């Protein structure tokens, strides 16, 4: 029996290959129908590739489109080697290590602007997306609803783009890290990475969709037991916090609103009825993410991406085995500790 869901896809650079693996397994399973997807940064890339592929050839087309995108990302890396040559003999944490030259380059992003480090605004994603995604078809043809997050530079607020507004610039804006790329201008406004203000956005899946179940695919690390002390540890923790705090804030608000709706004796409003029926599920690998440095989000080597893909498929399989039957019935995700 097919069950309809919406998906919320978190951003995290190359770590988004784990999300690719999760999506690949869900699409292969065939029992999950997707009404809508929200996404930021790498989550937005996965969302658009999936939606585009689905228009082309259903679930199989979506799987192929995701594979084509990530394979192209790997082949565009200046430090990539063929996947077959590198193999999967080392663990993912070992494969995540960047070459020394790349680490040195990214260290300079703390001191120089994108216009200084990247004066020609070179972005391999631009060519990959232009070649693989039919944005006109996404705008014109009904399909999976998309909610792509960006951050408006002038106000520091979230701006969502939907199917009818989809373009190459929108997708590049959603993944525009301010330290590496210049802001992307759309209709006179400058935009940065959507993960700064929603990573990923949940509210459009509540207010604009009908599916009772939201599956959030997250790239968060486990809570840190120790206070960072070195400069690199502090920088990494600040980066993690900056791209996770918006989601935690929105999630807490959503769960609080749902709890109040569940307590009500009478439910008159559409939102209250929607919240009472809403179920939340999470697929994640926090212990693995804790082993990876923030620099590894820039690692596009084939072996690393394919290892994350394999791990994502495994996580999705565990979730399907344990929680698929709960779809449409109740939430498999618990965050009661937030209310203590």
Summarised one tens digit per residue, pLDDT across range 198-239 is 999 999 999 999 999 999 999 987 777 788 778 767 767 777
Report pLDDT for 100: 56
pLDDT attached to residue 117:
44
* Calpha distance 181→184 (Å, rounded): 8
For residues 300 and 159, what is the distance between their CA atoms, to the nearest angstrom?
28
Average pLDDT over residues 14-25: 97
Collapsing DSSP to helix, strand or coil, 279 comes out as strand
Q: How many Cα atoms occupy the beta-carbon half-sphere of 96 within 13 Å?
A: 19
279-283 and 213-217: which strand pairing?
parallel
Residue 331 appears among annotated catalytic residues:
no
Question: Looking at per-residue confidence, does 131 or 107 come out higher?
Answer: 131
Reported confidence tier of residue 86, pLDDT bands at 50, 70, 90:
very low
Q: What is the reported pTM?
A: 0.86
d(CA 174, CA 15): 16
The pLDDT value recorded for residue 266 is 61
Give the C-alpha separation, 150 to 172, whole Å.
9
- Tokens matching residue 148: 């792509």
**Does 24 qualify as catalytic in the annotation?**
no
Are 147 and 38 spatial neighbours (Cβ–Cβ below 8 Å)? yes
Beta-carbon contacts of residue 177 (< 8 Å; ≥ 6 apart): 192, 193
Average pLDDT, stretch 307-315? 97
In this structure, the number of other CB atoms found within 10 A of the CB of residue 148 comes to 30
Q: DSSP letter for 208, please.
A: S
The stretch 299-311 carries a mean pLDDT of: 94
Q: Which long-range contacts (C-beta less than 8 Å, at least 24 apart) are formed by 53-56?
A: 54/143, 54/144, 55/134, 55/137, 55/138, 55/141, 55/143
User: What is the DSSP annotation of 209-248?
Assistant: ---SEEEEE--PPPPPSS---SHHHHHHHHHHHHTTHHHH
- In this predicted model, what pLDDT tens digit does every residue of 221-232 receive, in sequence order? 777 778 877 876
pLDDT at 330 over 60: yes
Res 18: pLDDT: 98
Instruction: Place 95 in a pLDDT band, splitting at 50, 70 and 90.
Output: low
The proportion of the chain whose per-residue pLDDT surpasses 90, expressed as a percent, equals 60
pLDDT number for residue 97: 53
Active-site hit among 193, 244, 294, 307: 193
Choose the catalytic residue: 14, 38, 40, 41: 41
> d(Cα 139, Cα 56) in Å, to the nearest integer?
14
Q: 234-243 long-range CB contacts below 8 Å, 24 or more apart?
A: 235/110, 235/294, 236/293, 236/294, 239/294, 240/294, 242/196, 243/11, 243/12, 243/195, 243/196, 243/199
pLDDT at residue number 80: 43
Judged against a pLDDT cut of 80, whether residue 336 lies above it is answered with no
pLDDT band, very low/low/confident/very high, at 83 (cuts 50, 70, 90): very low
User: What CATH code would you report for 3-337?
Assistant: 3.40.1090.10
CA dist., res. 90 & res. 179, Å (int): 31
State the average pLDDT over residues 150-177: 96
Mean pLDDT of 289-303: 86
What are the φ/ψ torsions at residue 173 (nearest 5 degrees)?
A: -65, -40
Q: Any idea where the domains of the chain sit in the sequence?
A: 3-337
């Amino acid at each position: 029996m097919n069950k309809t869901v919406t998906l919320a896809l978190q951003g995290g650079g190359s770590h988004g290959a784990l999300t690719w693996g999760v999506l690949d397994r869900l699409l292969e399973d065939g029992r999950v129908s997707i009404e809508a997807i929200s996404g930021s940064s790498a989550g937005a890339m996965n969302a658009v590739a999936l939606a585009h592929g689905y228009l082309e050839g259903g679930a199989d087309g979506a799987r192929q489109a995701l594979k084509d995108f990530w394979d192209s990302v790997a082949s565009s890396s200046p430090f990539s080697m063929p996947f077959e040559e590198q193999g999967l003999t080392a663990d993912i944490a070992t494969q995540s290590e960047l070459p020394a030259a790349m680490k040195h380059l990214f260290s300079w992003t703390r001191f120089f602007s994108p216009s200084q480090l990247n004066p020609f605004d070179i972005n391999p994603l631009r060519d990959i997306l232009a070649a693989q995604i039919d944005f006109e078809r996404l705008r014109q043809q009904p399909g999976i609803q998309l909610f792509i997050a960006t951050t408006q530079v002038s106000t520091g607020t979230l701006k969502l783009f939907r199917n009818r507004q989809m373009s190459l610039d929108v997708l590049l804006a959603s993944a525009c890290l301010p330290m590496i790329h210049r802001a992307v201008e759309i209709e006179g406004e400058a935009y940065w990475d959507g993960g700064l203000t929603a990573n990923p956005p949940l509210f459009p899946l509540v207010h604009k969709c009908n599916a009772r179940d939201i599956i959030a695919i997250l790239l968060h690390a486990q809570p840190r037991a120790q206070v960072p002390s070195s400069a690199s540890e502090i920088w990494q923790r600040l980066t993690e916090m900056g791209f996770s705090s918006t989601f935690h804030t929105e999630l807490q608000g959503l769960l609080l609103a749902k709890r109040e709706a569940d307590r009500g004796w009478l439910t008159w409003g559409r939102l209250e009825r929607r919240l009472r029926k809403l179920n939340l599920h999470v697929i994640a690998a926090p212990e693995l993410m804790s082993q990876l440095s923030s620099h590894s989000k820039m690692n596009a080597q084939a072996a690393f991406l394919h290892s994350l893909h394999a791990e994502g498929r495994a996580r999705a399989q565990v979730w399907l085995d344990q929680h698929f039957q709960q779809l449409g019935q109740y939430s498999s995700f618990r965050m009661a500790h937030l209310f203590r």
